Homo-oligomer: A and B are copies of this chain.
Amino acid sequence: MRENQKRRGFLKTGTAVGAGLLLSNLGIAGENKTNPVSGEEMSIWDVFEKRRSVRKFKSTRVPETHIEKILDAARSAPTAGNQQPWKFLVIQDKSKIEELKKECIAKSMERAKSKKDQTAEKLKEKEDKANTYYGDYLSAPVYVIVLTDKESKYPSYNHHDGPLAAGYLILAARALGYGTVFCTDSIPEDITSKVFNIPDKYVRICIIPIGIPDKWPESPEKMKWDEFVVNDSF
């Protein structure tokens, strides 16, 4: 597989270094830290508070330096016994994203057609909905598929390590002004496996779009504070 990887410039910047050196080694510690829209650096508390799940994006390009910073944050996540079982498939090729969209719409329509009592009118309506839904969902300039490797050192902990890295990726993206969403079944795993030729040894955790939101959604209603917390014992 490795020989088929297309390597961009940013893939050449890293060496085997301690996490404490990662950002400085990338040579970008002093720049590109700011929100590309506001130009200001967000505090971590603002990042937690203002993160939203975004499903429609502007086409504005995401600079490579931002993608680097976002993935560097992702790989700084806690990982069992320092195993680092992650692979980040970064998709920027518009034709690939278009192919993904077509496959998602086709699968959606297959499901619709297999249902009883379908009419031409209902199917047309379903098709319009699928076009809008996936047109929005797949409007971002960058997608990252977060994978974990079944052949990692401690694979029984990959189900923790995977979401941890994805969660850190999402926060880093928000800190730079981008919207994301932790997407699973909306973009079916069998489709991404096929379109991106993902080897069987990887488990897909999620696929995450990264882009400037068409608009920032409102926060959904949250549960009451004391619903979450128990003190000392049940």
The interface residues of chain B lying within 8 Å CB-to-CB of A84 are: 222-223, 227-228
- What's the minimum C-beta distance from A168 to chain B, rounded to whole angstroms? 6
CA distance A230 to B220 in the complex (A): 34
**Interface SS majority for chain A:** mixed
Tell me, in angstroms, the Cα distance from A96 to B33 when the chains sit together: 43
For chain A, residues 1 to 45, give those with C-beta under 8 angstroms from any C-beta of chain B: 1, 4-8, 11-23, 26, 29, 33, 41-45
List CB contacts (< 8 Å) of A171-200 with chain B.
171-172, 175, 181-182, 184, 195-199
Please determine whether A18 and B220 come into contact, CB atoms closer than 8 angstroms.
yes
**A93 CB-CB contact with B under 8 Å:** yes
Q: A154 CB to closest chain B CB, in angstroms?
A: 10
User: In the complex, A181 Cα to B78 Cα: how many Å?
Assistant: 8
Stretch at the interface among A67-75, A113-121, A123-131: A67-75
Say yes or no: B44 contacts A172, CB within 8 Å: yes
Contact of A228 among B23, B71, B78, B223 (CB under 8 A): B71
Number of copies: 2
Query: Could you tell me if A45 and B73 are in contact, using CB atoms closer than 8 angstroms?
Result: yes
Total interface residues on A, using CB and 8 Å?
93
Q: How far is the CA of A220 from the CA of B153 in the complex (A)?
A: 15
Given A166-B164, A225-B15, decide whether A232 and B6 contact each other with a Cβ distance below 8 A. Answer: yes
Binds B, one of A47-55, A104-112, A133-141: A47-55
Closest B residue to A182 by beta carbon equals: B78
A76 and B93 contact, Cβ closer than 8 Å, known pairs A4-B234, A171-B171: no
Give the chain B neighbours of A220 by CB distance below 8 A: 18-19, 82
Chain B residue numbers with a CB within 8 Å of A196 are 232-234
**24 A-B pairs with C-beta separation under 8 A:** A6-B232, A13-B225, A14-B224, A20-B219, A23-B45, A23-B48, A26-B225, A48-B172, A51-B76, A78-B170, A78-B181, A80-B184, A82-B222, A84-B223, A87-B230, A88-B230, A93-B232, A160-B182, A160-B184, A167-B167, A167-B168, A171-B171, A196-B233, A196-B234
